[in-house]
Copies of this chain bind each other. A is one copy, B any other.
Amino acid sequence: MRLNIRAELDYYFAEAADVLLALEVAPMADQRIVEDLLVVDGANGPLLPVPGEESIGRRTWLEAEGRFLATYTATVEVERATDPIAGLPAASRRALPALVVPYLWPSRYCEADRFAAFVAREFPGLEGGDLVLAMAAWIGEHVDYRPGTSDGTTTAADTFISRQGVCRDFAHLLTAFARAGGLPARAVSAYGLGVDPPDFHAVVEVWLADGWRLVDATGQSQADGLGRICVGRDATDISFMTIFGQAQLNQQTVTVTRG
**Residue positions of A touching B, CB distance < 8 A:** 18, 20, 48, 50-53, 55, 59, 61-63, 93-98, 101-102, 105-108, 111, 113-115, 117-118, 121-122, 142, 144, 149, 153, 157, 160-164, 182, 232-233, 236-237, 244
Taking a contact as CB atoms under 8 Å apart, the answer to whether B244 and A102 are in contact is no
Interfacial chain B residues near A121, Cβ < 8 Å: 142, 144, 163
Q: Other CB < 8 Å A-B pairs besides A52-B98, A61-B93, A118-B162, 19 of them? A: A48-B94, A48-B95, A50-B101, A63-B94, A93-B244, A102-B232, A105-B236, A105-B237, A106-B108, A107-B108, A107-B233, A108-B111, A117-B162, A118-B163, A121-B144, A157-B157, A160-B160, A161-B161, A182-B244
Chain B neighbourhood of A233, CB < 8 A: 107, 233
Residues of B within 8 A of A61 (CB): 93-95
How many angstroms between the C-alpha atoms of A205 and B55 in the bound complex? 22
Q: Which residue of B lies closest to A100 (CB)?
A: B50
* B48, B98, B160: the one within 8 Å of A50 (CB): B98
The residues of B that contact A236 with a CB separation of less than 8 Å are 105-107
Given A108-B111, A182-B244, are A102 and B53 neighbors across the interface (CB < 8 Å)? yes
A157-B161, A162-B118, A182-B244 are known contacts. Are A51 and B237 too (CB-CB below 8 A)? Answer: no
